Amino acid sequence: MLRLAGAAPCAAQPDLTGMVMALADELDLNSLLTFAAVAEAGGFTAAAERLGTSKARVSLAVARLEGRLGTTLFSRTTRRVTLTEAGEALQARCVPLLREARAVLAEVAAGEGAELAGTLRLTASVDLATQALAGVVAAFGARHPRLQIELRTSDRVVDLVQEGLDLGLRMGWLRDSTLRATRLGGFDQYVVSSVAYLERHPPPAVPEDLARHAWVALTLLPTPLTWTFVQAGETRSVRMSAALRTDSAATLRALLRHGAGVSVLDQLSAEAGIANGELVRLLPDWQLPRGGIWAVHPPGRHVPAKVRAFIDFCRGMFPPAA
């Protein structure tokens, strides 16, 4: 049910062409690495500790880079260090390339087919993680014991590059995005309610009847009150009204089980409740749009071996795409 947005587009930023041309004659990767460390650590002292050098050397490297580019990259005060507009532009373009270069060098050094190691940072919605992904991650981790896996859960889409994440697993419909995506499966959407609710309200016979029911809206969706149903080529769009709303898919499922009303759950979230009798599927002859289960990762020519291996491991673990 969750709609996937790509990484947030950058605001209007300085043209990087001048920066790149300024570095073309005398490219100093160390200065870029130092800049990236300061940007990620949020300060010169923390960056120096991360790089194992002195604060003075870090400051000098950044000053030389700023001089070569002819622009200020950081705003410095006694309390904090923040990126300028030019610094944000440089970070957005260069930091992903540096990460990619590190990954390539690490794989070359390890050799093709080497055992996976390091850290794989994943993100997924809470429901997807608890209902399907947890078992996949556990099995993948058992197969690669030298690999550390960090699974972060959130119902809201995060910026993979900004958060330093390798891969996101999401359910929904992809918007235009700079992220690279692999479709791992698909899911149907069900209109559901509880037996207790249906004892007080007659079940809907056609989609239009839903407008007279107590609808529970999931505010994570862009249009939580408008739904389009299809049956044998006939399309009907229905506008609901909701006195009860939530921003959590797990809370929505709990509200429905307690008889709060009617709503839509994705196939993975609904099937267990339907099987044990807590939920009842309504209007089964009418179809809602089918969604996809996607693996998305930051752009770049090189995809780290750990990411490729996890995506391959996930294939066949989810309901088929069609």
Number of H helices, E strands in the chain: 12, 14
Calpha distance 194→273 (Å, rounded): 9
The pLDDT value given to residue 18: 52
> What SS3 state is found at 269?
helix
Domain boundaries, given as residue ranges, for the chain = 17-98, 118-186+292-314, 189-289
Whole-prediction pTM? 0.62
Residue 96 CA to residue 300 CA, distance in Å, equals 8
Return per-residue pLDDT of the chain as tens, 322 residues.
433 333 333 344 445 555 554 444 455 678 888 888 888 888 898 888 888 889 999 999 999 888 888 889 998 887 788 899 988 888 887 777 776 666 665 555 455 556 788 899 999 999 899 988 999 999 999 999 999 999 999 888 888 887 889 999 998 887 756 678 899 989 999 999 999 999 999 999 999 999 999 999 999 898 999 999 999 989 999 999 999 999 999 999 999 999 999 999 999 899 999 999 999 999 999 999 999 999 998 876 678 889 999 999 998 788 776 5
Q: Please state the CATH superfamily assignment of the domain spanning residues 118-186+292-314 in this structure.
A: Periplasmic binding protein-like II (3.40.190.10)
Q: Which fold has domain 17-98?
A: Arc Repressor Mutant, subunit A (1.10.10)
Of residues 203, 217, 223, the one with CA closest to residue 286: 203
22 sits in which H/E element: helix 17-24
Say if residues 283 and 193 touch (Cβ distance below 8 Å).
no
Same fold, 118-186+292-314 and 189-289: yes
Tell me which H or E stretch contains 64.
helix 55-69
- Specify the pLDDT at position 32: 84
Cα–Cα separations (whole angstroms), residue 280 to 114, 195, 255, 275? 49, 7, 14, 9
pLDDT score, position 9: 38
**CB contact set of 175 (below 8 Å; sequence gap of 6+):** 3, 4, 5, 6
The DSSP code sequence of 128-189 is HIIIIIHHHHHHHHHH-TTEEEEEEE-SS---HHHHT-SEEEEEE-BPS-SSEEEEEEEE-E
Q: Which CATH number applies to 189-289? A: 3.40.190.290
Burial (CB count <10 Å: 0-12, 13-18, 19+), residue 78: exposed
